[in-house]
Chain A
Amino acid sequence: MGMNPYKIRRLTKLVLIQALLITVTITCLFPLFWMVRSSLMTQDAVFVDQSIIPSRLHFGNYVRAWTQGQFGRYFLNSVVYTTIVVFGIVVISSWAAYAFSRLKFPGRKLFFVLFILAVMIPLPGSFVPLTVLMTKIGFINSPYSWVRQLGYILCMINVGLPLSVFLLKTFFDQMPSDLEDAARIDGCNKMGIWRHVALPLARPAIAVIVIFNALNVWNEYLLARLLLNDVAGKPTIMPLQRGVMVFADTHNVEYPLLMASLTIAAVPIILVYLFVQKHILAVGEPSKIDLLKEGRLSR
C-alpha cells in the first residue's frame, strides 16, 4: 500500500525545498568553515593539508592574533562606536521618519527628497572636502581624543541616516493611524506617541536598521583611517577593522593567523544578528501594541 498521489506530491515538494535550502546553506557556511578551519592550522600545514578537518587543532593562533594584533583595545573602540552610532541613528532617524510620515510642517517634502538624494552621491568623491570640513570644525586635530571620536561618530551617523530614514518612513506610512488617535485621546503628546506607539510598532524595521548600521560601522575602515589620528602615549582610538587590516598586511603570509583575526572580527556581528533577528521576525508574538490595543498597558 503506497502513499496517495497527494502525499507524494507534497513530499517531493518538501524534498525539493529542503534541497534548495541545504544547497544555499552549504555555500553560506563554506567560507566561514574555511576561515575557521584555516585559523586552526599551523603555518606548515595550511597550504599542504587537504583534509577537511585538520588532524590537530591549534587554538594558539587566536591567542597570538589577539595579543600580537593588540585587538583588546580596538575591540573595545569598535564596540563603543557601534553602540553609540547605532543608538544615535535609531533615535534620530526614527524622529525624522516619524515627522516625515505623520507630522505636518513646512518644507517636509523638500527635506525628505534632499535626504534621499544624498544617498545617491558616491562617497569616495567627497573624501577631500570631508577631511577639510572636519578639520575646520576642529574634530580631526583636537587634543582631546573624545572630540576626535565624536567627529567620527557624527560622520558615521550621517552615513547611516538617509537609508534608515527612508526605511522607517516607508514603515510608518503603512502603520494604521487609529492607534495614534487613541493615544492622543489618552493625552499623549507627540513625543509620547513616538515613544509609546510608533517605536514599539516599528520594532521589525528598527531591528533591520540596527543590523544594517551595526554591520556598516563594524566593518568600516575607510572613514576611520581618514578621520582618526592617534596621539602619542594615549591608547588608540582606531576601530577593530583598522587593527585587522594592519594585522593582515603585516602577516599576509601567515594564513592561519590572518584567518584567526578575521574570525575574531566576524564573530561579534554574527552574534548581534542572532540576537536582533528574532525582533525582525517577531510578528505574531504579543507585542506591546497588542497589549495597548487591549488596554492592558497604559500608554
Chain B
Amino acid sequence: MSKRLACLIVLCFALLYSGCAGTPEDPNTLTVWHWMTDRHDVLVQLAEQYKAQTGITVDFQLFAPSDIYSQKVIAAAQAHILPDIFGILDKKSVFADFIKGGFVANLKPYFEENGREWENSFFEKALEGNRFSANNAYGVAEGIYAAPLDVMNIQMVYNKKLLEKAGVVSPPKTFDEFLRAAEALNKIGITPFVSGWAELWLLDCFASNYAFNIMGIDKIMATYRGEVLYTDPDWVKVFEIFSVMAQKNILASGIVTKSNKFAEQDFALERAAFAFNGSWCVNVYHGMNPDLDYGVMLPPKISDGHPLMIWGGAGGSLVVNETSPRKEKAVAFLKWLTAQDQQAVLSEATRNLPSNRNALADLPKELADFGQAMDVVTHQTVWPIEEDAVVKEKFTKGLQSIIIGERTPQEVAREVQEIKKRQMERAIRRAQ
C-alpha cells in the first residue's frame, strides 16, 4: 500500500512541476545541439577558450548519428524547445520550413555589418547554400540564415599503387578512359570502383554530376518543374551510365547495400582502385590507413556538351534560434567560431576544409586537392528549385535496381516519370 502511495505522490509531484518548469534561463549559457562527432572534442575545447575570454559558457550537446539528430530537431521544433544554436541537416525546403515556422534567425544584418566584414571572410560557395535570394521559390524572406563551420565537396579518389599495378599511367579524364582503366584493373583482379550507394543521397549525387555533364542545369530544372520528362533521351543516358558500370563489372560487389562507412573501409584497405566520396574522407582514410597513397580527381566526364559539376558547399552549418533570449550572444559566438584562428584550429584537428578563406594554411595535400575544386561545385541548396522528395526516392531506388540488373534504364525512366506525374497532380491538388 505504501509503495502505491509513494508512486502516486511522485507522479503528482511531477505533474505539479509542469506549472513552474521552463528552460533554464541562465543568460550567460548558450546551448548548441549538433551531430558532428568528429568535431565535438575540438568544439568543446574551443568553447572553453571562449568562456575564458568572455565568461559565456557554451554547452555543445552531441546527438549522433545524424538521422537521430534530425528526428530530435524536428520533434523539438514542434515542442518549441530548440536550443540557442542548432543545425538543420535537411534539404533546402525543410530549412525553409524551419525559417517560416519562426525558428531560425536571419543573420543577414550581422553578415553585412562593418562593410560585410563577416560575409567576406567566407568562401562564397560556403554561404551560397544558406542564402535565400529575393523572390525565391520557397517563399522565404531574403537573407542568409546559417553560418558554415567548414566546406566540403564530393569527388573521386584513386589508389595510385593499384592504378600503377594495372598499368594506368594517369587518372582518367573521360568516361571512356575510365572504362579502359577499369577493364585493366578487372584483368588483374582488382575491383575498380566502390562507393556507399546504400545511402541514397550519395547515389543521387553521382547521378546528378553526370546529369549536369549531359544536359546542363537548365534542362535539369525544367525536369523538376515537369517540363521535361524523365523519359527524355538525356535522362536515359544518365541511367545508362549505371547499367554500363554494372555490366562491365566495375562496381564493387554489394555496392547497393554498402553504407559509406563500409565503402570507406574498402578503399582504405585497398580493396578498390577508385572511390566516390566527400572531402571528409581525408580524415577517415588517415584514421584507417595512414600510409594510403591516393589522389583526388573529378569524376571523368562523359560528354563535352556541358561542364560536369560536383556537389559541394557548406559542410556543417549552424543556425541561431530566432526565439532565444540570448540571440545576440549566440550570433557573437558564431562570429568568433568562424574567425580565422578558430577555423585554423578546427581544420587542423578534423582535416576538414575550413569555411573561412583566410584559414587555408597547412592543409594535407589530398585536402588541398579537394579544396581546389571548390570553384566547380554546385548543390541542390543553390538551385532555384528542388525535386520532389518522393520522386527523388524513386529515382535513386531505381538506380539501385539498374545496378542489380532487375530493371533496364528505360524501365526506370518510365517508372520515375509515372511517380513524377502523380506527385505533380498531388501538388496541384494541394495548392487548391
Q: Which residues of A contact B (CB under 8 A)?
A: 47, 88, 91-92, 95, 127-128, 130-132, 134-144, 147, 150-151, 154, 191, 221-222, 225-226, 229-233, 245-246, 249-250, 252-254
Q: Are A131 and B68 in contact (CB under 8 A)?
A: no
**Partner pick for A131 among B61, B75, B269, B284, CB 8 A cutoff:** B75
Q: Could you tell me if A127 and B71 are in contact, using CB atoms closer than 8 angstroms?
A: yes
Considering only CB atoms, which chain B residue lies closest to A236 in the complex? B61
**Given that A135-B81, A147-B21, A225-B63 are known contacts, is A127 also in contact with B75, CB under 8 Å in the complex?**
yes
Q: Of residues A140, A151, A230, A252, which shows the largest number of chain B Cβ atoms within 10 Å of its Cβ?
A: A252
The answer to whether B21 touches A143 (Cβ under 8 A) is yes
A128-B1 contact, Cβ under 8 Å, with A142-B17, A249-B37, A253-B284: no
Contacts of A221 in B (CB 8 A): 68
Which partner residue on chain B sits nearest A232 by CB separation?
B59
For A231, the chain B residues whose CB sits under 8 A away are: 24, 59
Residues of A within 8 A of B11 (CB): 154
CB distance from A134 to the nearest CB of B (A): 8
* CB-nearest residue of chain A to B69: A225
Q: Measuring CB to CB, which residues of chain B are less than 8 angstroms from any residue of chain A?
A: 1, 3-4, 7, 10-11, 14-15, 17-19, 21-24, 26, 29, 31, 37-38, 40-41, 57, 59, 61-65, 68-69, 71-72, 74-76, 78-81, 261, 264-265, 268-269, 284, 287-288
A-side contacts of B21, CB under 8 Å: 138, 141-144, 147
User: When the two chains form their complex, are residues A233 and B57 in contact, meaning their CB atoms are under 8 A apart?
Assistant: yes
Question: Which of A132, A138, A246 is within 8 Å of B78, CB to CB?
Answer: A132
Q: Is the CB of A232 within 8 A of B10?
A: no
> What is the bound-complex CA distance between A138 and B10, given in angstroms?
14
Closest to B283 in A: A253
List 3 A-B pairs, minimum CB-CB distance, nearest first: A138-B18, A232-B59, A253-B287
Residue of A nearest to B25 (CB): A143
The chain B residue sitting closest to A143, CB to CB, is B24
Residues in A neighbouring B284, C-beta threshold 8 A: 253
* B-chain residues with CB within 8 Å of residue A134 when the two chains form the complex: 79
Q: Are B62 and A246 in contact (CB under 8 A)?
A: yes
Task: Give Cα A191 to B4, complex, Å.
Answer: 11
Given A226-B72, A232-B57: A252 and B24 interface contact (C-beta under 8 Å)? no
Bound Cα distance A70, B80 (Å): 30
Bound-state CA distance A245–B62 (Å) is 11
Cβ contacts A to B, 19 pairs, < 8 Å: A47-B269, A128-B75, A131-B76, A131-B78, A132-B75, A132-B79, A135-B80, A136-B18, A138-B18, A150-B14, A222-B68, A229-B81, A231-B59, A232-B57, A246-B37, A249-B37, A250-B40, A250-B64, A253-B287
- Separation of A218 and B41 alpha carbons in the complex (Å): 26
Which among B18, B79, B265 has the highest number of chain A CB atoms within 10 Å?
B79
> Please, which residues of chain B bring their CB within 8 A of the CB of A136?
18, 79
Max count, chain A CB within 10 A of own CB: residue among B17, B22, B268, B269: B17
A131→B79 contact, CB < 8 A: yes
Q: Quick one: closest B residue to A150, CB to CB? A: B14
Min C-beta distance of B77 to chain A, whole Å: 9
User: Which residues on B sit within 8 Å (CB–CB) of A127?
Assistant: 71, 75
Question: In the complex, what residues of B have CB within 8 A of residue A232's CB?
Answer: 26, 29, 31, 57, 59
CB distance from B315 to the nearest CB of A (A): 16
A153 to B385, CA, bound (A): 44
- For residue B40, which residue of chain A has the nearest CB? A250
SS class, residues of chain B in contact with chain A: helix
B61 touches A245 (CB 8 A): no
Q: Which residues of B contact A250 (CB under 8 A)?
A: 37-38, 40-41, 64
- A231 — nearest CB in chain B belongs to which residue? B24
A131 to B74, CA, bound (A): 10
Most chain A CB within a 10 A radius of its CB, from B21, B23, B61, B71: B21
CA distance A182 to B219 in the complex (A): 85
> How far does the alpha carbon of A191 sit from the alpha carbon of B1 in the complex, in Å?
8
CB distance from B309 to the nearest CB of A (A): 30
Contacts of A91 in B (CB 8 A): 3, 7
- State whether A225 and B72 are in contact (beta carbons under 8 Å apart), knowing that A138-B18, A250-B37 are contacts in the complex: yes
- Which A residue's beta carbon lies closest to that of B284? A253
What is the bound-complex CA distance between A38 and B304, given in angstroms? Answer: 49
A229 touches B61 (CB 8 A): yes
Known: A150-B14, A250-B37. A135 touches B79 (CB 8 A): yes
Which residues of the other chain, A, contact B76 by a CB distance below 8 angstroms? 131
Q: How far is the CA of A264 from the CA of B391 in the complex (A)?
A: 43
Which of A141, A151, A226 sits near B71, CB closer than 8 Å? Answer: A226
Smallest CB separation, B393 vs chain A (Å): 17
B17 in contact with A249 (CB, 8 Å):
no
Contact of B15 among A137, A222, A230 (CB under 8 A): A137
Closest residue to A253 on the B side, CB-wise? B287
Q: Find chain A residues with CB under 8 A from B264 CB.
A: 253
Closest residue of chain B to A140 (Cβ to Cβ) is B81
* Distance of A246 from chain B, by nearest CB (Å): 5
Given contacts A132-B78, A135-B79, A142-B17, contact A245 B65 (CB under 8 A): yes
Assess the A249–B64 pair: CB atoms within 8 A: yes
Contacts of B72 in A (CB 8 A): 225-226
Chain A contacts of B26 at CB under 8 A?
232
Residues of A within 8 A of B269 (CB): 47
Q: Which B residue sits closest to A48, measured CB to CB? A: B269
What A residues does B288 contact at CB under 8 A? 47, 253
Known: A128-B74, A245-B64, A250-B64. 13 other contacts (CB 8 A): A95-B4, A127-B71, A131-B75, A131-B78, A144-B17, A147-B14, A150-B10, A151-B14, A225-B69, A226-B72, A231-B24, A250-B40, A253-B264
- In the complex, A134 Cα to B78 Cα: how many Å? 12
A128 to B72, CA, bound (A): 9
B68 is contacted by which of A88, A225, A230 (Cβ under 8 Å)? A225
Residues of A within 8 A of B10 (CB): 150
Which one of A95, A130, A147, A233 contacts B17 once the chains associate, using CB atoms below 8 Å? A147
- B219 smallest CB distance to A (angstroms): 38
A253 and B15 CA atoms in complex are apart in Å by 45
